[in-house]
Chains A and B, each alone.
Chain A
Amino acid sequence: MSNFFNGLLKLRRGPWEMLATVLIALGVFMLMQPFVLWGFTYSFITTLVGTVMFIIVSHFRE
């Protein structure tokens, strides 16, 4: 776990990609879940942030 935060601080690709992946997955889940409307409302922005983040961080060093 501390490795993960270390990686984030040192701008390494692995942990950041993981974070972006989680954001995208969360956004997709929020978009399609049947439970709360506000989840649906904020799903798009979550996915968008995750996707943009993914594009940027995939250029970080390994």
Chain B
Amino acid sequence: MSEKTVDRVAGATPVLLARKIKGLSDRAIAWIFVGPTIFLLLAVNIFPLIWTVNLSFTNFKANRINRVVDYVGFSNYERILNDPDVWLSMQATAHFLFWTIFFQVLIGFTLAWLINKKFKGNDVWTTIIVLPMMLSPAVVGNFWTFLYQPQIGLFNYVIGFLSGKDASSFEMLGSVDLAPWSIVIVDTWMWTPFVMLICLAGLRSIPDYIYEAAEVDRASKLRQFFTITIPMVLPFLMLAVLFRGIENFKMFDLVVQLTGGGPGSTTELASIHLKREAFEKWRTGYSSAIAIILFVTVFGLASIYVKALNKVKER
């Protein structure tokens, strides 16, 4: 029965059309294949983005829909770019960004260098080290608040044990001085493996014969390290640094769970500040302008990142 239907349909279709469908030109197939992706991205990313740009010139408040919306020109941008609070949140971001990248590169490169000595079982240990970076930052960050508890937390206990201080004498998350470092510690714990993996790839991309040639020239090990290893790994390292830079510039989940921006606003990173403006104070127009500033910054960094990506790809 069903076969008959098929035959009937096939018979009814004009030969020319059937051939056209069967042998769609490559160009048509290309657009059919790419189209849905582009459409989805336009609908879920670009359309909202244009809307944000539009909102950023208004004084719209999303919790008061019926209020008359006025176009205020660039005044949102003017206010933001002269607002010491926003500036402070950017400085908090800078502190977080600088130190996480510093520690992650330092520890990550060292680990990669050690792993590249190819000791027995190095791949198993590499896989184990990588685990934290794949986990949910929100869930893990939430649990770290438990490790940071002044009296009962494991972190405080270990630090207290090692330094001889009382474990309840310091609060990692509650103190203005320590909170910025507490988020650096957790982020470093989580993302050092990322830098390590990329550095490892860089180290493994260096062919042996370069070292052999250097050995023939009697270059010292230290000299080899600075004239061969470092320059050859540098493009990979740049890639890792840029990517961590972008990710941490927009850091949200981990830090929200750890400190929620506090105490006060000491760990209020850019994204957290934005969230407070947009979803707690409901200053939608104003926060849209912040969003655009963050977006342009990320977009700029992303274009440098893709350039670095292509550079590494050519290797």
Direct contact of A and B (CB under 8 A): yes
Q: Is the CB of A44 within 8 A of B293?
A: yes
Question: Separation in Å of the B128 CB from the closest CB of chain A?
Answer: 35
CA of A35 to CA of B260, assembled, Å: 26
Number of cross-chain contacts by CB at 8 Å:
53
Question: What is the total number of residues of chain A having a CB less than 8 Å from a CB of chain B?
Answer: 23
Q: Is the CB of B87 within 8 A of A24?
A: no
| Range, interface on chain B | 10 to 19
CA of A55 to CA of B307, assembled, Å: 11
Docked complex: A1-48 residues within 8 A CB-CB of B: 17, 21, 24-25, 27-28, 31-34, 37, 40-44, 47-48
Select A31's contact among B90, B299, B303, beta carbons within 8 Å: B90
Select A32's contact among B77, B90, B296, B303, beta carbons within 8 Å: B90
- Minimal Cβ-Cβ distance residue in A for B299: A51
Residue in B77, B84, B296 whose Cβ sees the most chain A Cβ within 10 Å: B296
CA of A51 to CA of B77, assembled, Å: 18
A-B contact pairs, 14 of them (CB 8 A): A27-B300, A32-B90, A33-B91, A41-B81, A43-B81, A44-B81, A44-B293, A44-B296, A47-B296, A47-B300, A51-B300, A51-B303, A54-B300, A55-B303
Chain A positions near chain B (C-beta within 8 angstroms): 17, 21, 24-25, 27-28, 31-34, 37, 40-44, 47-48, 50-51, 54-55, 58
